[in-house]
Amino acid sequence: MRGVFKILVPILAVWLVWGCERDYMFRGGNDGVRFSVDTVMFDTIFTSFGSTTKHFRVYNHYGSDMLIDGIRLAGGENSKFRININGISEHTVNDVPLRSGDSLFVFVEVTIDPSEVDAPFVVTDSVIFYTRERIQSVQLVAYGQNVVVLRKRNLKTQRFTADRPYLIYDWVVVDSLETLTVDPGARLHFYKNASLFVFGTLNVKGTRDEPVLFAGSRLEEWYADKPGQWGYIYLMPGSTNHVIDYAIIRNGTMGLVVDSVGVDGDPPLYISNTRIEHKARQGLVAQASSIVASNSLFADCGSAAVALTVGGHYEFYHSTIANYYRWAFRGVPALVLSNYYLDKDGAIRTNNLEEALFSNCIIYGLSDNEIGLDFKSNSDDFENEVVSYRFDHSLIRTTLKNERLSDPKHFRDVIINRDPSFISPVNSNYQLDTLSVAKDAGDINAARRFPKDFNGNSRLNDKGPDLGFIERIERQ
């Protein structure tokens, strides 16, 4: 295939003469051009200094001959990819003619050296097309030898290690009665729309120095905080004994979906020292489940950062729920609590919210109201319904009326509508500023249960524990 990349002078000369004989004044409309694919994927696992070539087609769907202003490789000369357009092998080609109803081939070659110690396991770039009305692109993705590829795989009991990253296409399922254990430092990367479904047990064993990463497959820094790059982690009904410690779950459509977990005497889902952020929709969404969360962050989501629905039992200690989502309008509060669902006939079906406790927490964001309480009553069984929620020694942003906020059954020693003074939410830095009202405002009894913060610092060495997942440590 390397012959494709040699410039054939006679052919090129004929092409140039032919181009001069036609009128290429039209430079495209609002729809731009069309492509045979939106992504060219090189999923070959290379065993040596290897190369392969693929191609895609570009179509002129207009009634007139057109001239494409420019086609270029986004990575330029530093890219590991090379492109060839109608026999021209260059990083940039300008004024490319394309007859009405016709197409042209773009050949793409990639070379990856898997022996390079620091080489990324995913190599990405894009081919950019410029017409007068639009800028379009076709993504280029190549995977090297140093990745474990999983696609539509049912897993038995096994361990994911930190030896090599895991790249997941489409879906991976942990079967019922099976356990997936994820070791410290393991990296799970998900391609577009790929998800992890757990019918058995998920045991994530990260550490402060070696957290477990769940993220998209794009490794460029620009993509680190971009939401919607993959699907989600779904803990299915009947799954049990889940523990997630020191995990980073970022840039998916949703973060963690929890469905009827921790019921009928099963242990709750334990989430600790975990960051769930940069989600197109919810960060944590649970229904009719039991969860104990501590030292964790839920942030930057296009919908609720935490949605606890259809009742259940939930305890959050020293956690930060902060929603400064900037990619689109967000009409949903950062935290949502509800006790019902609609059945197939549209009738309200309630389920007891046995407990929703937020102790030493921060619930804040850009909206005036970041707490959504959505409770309904099933008139047939009103006396037996339970709705129990409580904010204890927490900072909240809300538009609830004072008479509700003064109810000690639901609100105890809360700070209302005071900015927590995070260092830089836009840069995902949710540490407290030195003058934050959340400093030393926590309940000591809750802090004794969780004496160390997300960073491993003690909460018990100053006037009082801070609210949220990180304790402010002043420099001496």
Q: What is the pLDDT of residue 56?
A: 95
Residue 146 is encoded by which pair of tokens?
């140093």
Which of 143, 163, 183 represents a domain boundary (last residue)?
Answer: 143
The torsion angles phi and psi of 175, rounded to 5 degrees, stand at -65, 160
Q: What is the pLDDT of residue 239?
A: 97
Secondary element (H or E) of residue 289: strand 284-294
| Confidence bin at 18 (pLDDT 50/70/90) | very low
pLDDT digits (tens, 9 = 90+) for 265-274: 999 999 999 9
pLDDT exceeds cutoff 90 at 2: no
Q: Mark whether 165 and 132 lie in a shared domain.
A: no
2 exposure class (CB count in 10 Å sphere: 0-12, 13-18, 19+): exposed
| Confidence bin at 19 (pLDDT 50/70/90) | very low
Q: What is the pLDDT of residue 448?
A: 97
* First-last CA distance in the chain: 64
Q: Mark whether 129 and 249 lie in a shared domain.
A: no
User: What is the Cα–Cα distance from 454 to 248, expressed in whole angstroms?
Assistant: 12
pLDDT exceeds cutoff 50 at 16: no
Q: Mark whether 133 and 222 lie in a shared domain.
A: no
User: What is the Cα–Cα distance from 264 to 128, expressed in whole angstroms?
Assistant: 55
Is residue 105 within 8 A of residue 157, CB to CB? The reply is no
Looking up tokens 């296009």 gives 302
Q: Mark whether 116 and 158 lie in a shared domain.
A: no
- Provide CB contacts within 8 A for 344, sequence distance 6+: none
Q: Mark whether 137 and 223 lie in a shared domain.
A: no
pLDDT digits (tens, 9 = 90+) for 68-87: 999 999 988 888 899 999 88
Share of the chain above pLDDT 70, in %: 89
88 lies in which domain range? Answer: 2-143
Q: What is the pLDDT of residue 13?
A: 42
pLDDT digits (tens, 9 = 90+) for 367-395: 999 999 999 987 665 556 789 999 999 99
Is residue 213 within 8 A of residue 188, CB to CB? The reply is yes
User: What is the Cα–Cα distance from 120 to 223, expressed in whole angstroms?
Assistant: 15
Q: What is the pLDDT of residue 403?
A: 87
Q: What is the pLDDT of residue 6?
A: 46
- Provide CB contacts within 8 A for 236, sequence distance 6+: 197, 198, 199, 259
Q: What would the mean pLDDT of 248-254 be, rounded to a whole number?
A: 98
pLDDT exceeds cutoff 80 at 8: no
Long-range contacts of 152-160 (CB under 8 A, 24+ apart): 155/180, 157/200, 159/183, 160/186, 160/188
User: What is the Cα–Cα distance from 316 to 433, expressed in whole angstroms?
Assistant: 22
Q: Mark whether 59 and 161 lie in a shared domain.
A: no
Lowest mean pLDDT of 137-146, 227-236, 453-462, name the range: 137-146
- How many domains are there within the chain? 2
Q: What is the pLDDT of residue 113?
A: 63
Which of 108, 143, 178 represents a domain boundary (last residue)?
Answer: 143
Q: Mark whether 155 and 84 lie in a shared domain.
A: no
Q: Does 269 fall in a domain?
A: yes
Q: Mark whether 182 and 123 lie in a shared domain.
A: no
CA distances to 132, 231, 471 from 245, in Å: 51, 20, 18
Residue 78 is encoded by which pair of tokens?
């530093």
Q: Mark whether 11 and 129 lie in a shared domain.
A: yes
The torsion angles phi and psi of 266, rounded to 5 degrees, stand at -70, 155
Cα 139 from chain centroid (whole Å): 19
**b/e map of 22-48 (b: 16 or more CB within 10 Å)?**
eebebebeeebbebeeeebebebebee
Number of Cβ within a 10 Å radius of residue 115 = 12
pLDDT digits (tens, 9 = 90+) for 419-446: 999 999 999 999 999 999 999 999 999 9
| E strands in 343-392 | 348-350, 353-359, 362-365, 371-374, 387-392
Identify which has the larger pLDDT, 94 or 144: 94
Q: Does 471 fall in a domain?
A: no
Residues paired with residue 83 on neighbouring β-strands, in sequence order? 108
pLDDT exceeds cutoff 60 at 410: yes
172: alpha, beta or left, given left = phi > 0 and alpha = psi -120 to 50? beta
Number of Cβ within a 10 Å radius of residue 92 = 14
- Provide CB contacts within 8 A for 425, sequence distance 6+: 299, 322, 324
Is residue 296 within 8 A of residue 321, CB to CB? The reply is no
DSSP 260-280: S-S-TTPPPEEEES-EEEEES
135 exposure class (CB count in 10 Å sphere: 0-12, 13-18, 19+): exposed
Give me the CATH number covering residue 344: 2.160.20
User: What is the Cα–Cα distance from 162 to 183, expressed in whole angstroms?
Assistant: 7
Which of 125, 143, 161 represents a domain boundary (last residue)?
Answer: 143
Q: Mark whether 130 and 161 lie in a shared domain.
A: no
- Provide CB contacts within 8 A for 213, sequence distance 6+: 186, 187, 188, 189, 247, 248, 250
Give me the CATH number covering residue 132: 2.60.40.10
Nearest alpha carbon to residue 240 among 260, 265, 266, 204:
266
Which of 101-110, 177-186, 402-411 has the highest mean predicted lDDT (pLDDT)? Answer: 177-186
pLDDT digits (tens, 9 = 90+) for 319-365: 999 999 999 999 999 999 999 999 998 889 999 999 999 999 999 99
- Provide CB contacts within 8 A for 384, sequence distance 6+: none
Q: Mark whether 33 and 53 lie in a shared domain.
A: yes
pLDDT digits (tens, 9 = 90+) for 34-56: 999 999 987 644 333 345 688 99
Q: Mark whether 104 and 188 lie in a shared domain.
A: no
Identify which has the larger pLDDT, 285 or 51: 285
